Amino acid sequence: MTKALRLGVLALALLGAGCSPSEEAQNGDTLRSDIPLRSAQYLFDNPEAAVEVKAMCDQWKASQRPLASWPAVVTENCNNENAARSRRLRRERTEHMKKQIGI
């Protein structure tokens, strides 16, 4: 019985040590999910909206919450912002290559 009690106390101590103060302070009050769903095309055409969505996504990523716990609108907006950013980057690279070869 004493050995089981010691193991129980040790397990509780280890669990308590695993939660840092920064993790305990995360309550999600600063995380936004109020931005309406935006398509990748909309974010591609409106870079200022993409900046706002990217800021929201960066906050959610920094929260280190599992992706499965994110609201669907946040997940979709982050995926669409990433697609719009990739498309914009590909277009810029293509235009740069065309200038280099004189087209």
Q: Which two tokens stand for residue 62?
A: 């920094």
CA distance 99 to 93: 10
Q: What is the pLDDT of residue 90?
A: 97
CA distance 80 to 76: 6
As averages over each run of 10 residues, the pLDDT of the chain (103 residues) reads 65 54 56 92 96 96 92 96 97 95 88
CA distance 47 to 50: 5
Q: What is the pLDDT of residue 87?
A: 97
H helices of the chain, in order, are 2-18, 21-25, 40-45, 47-62, 72-101
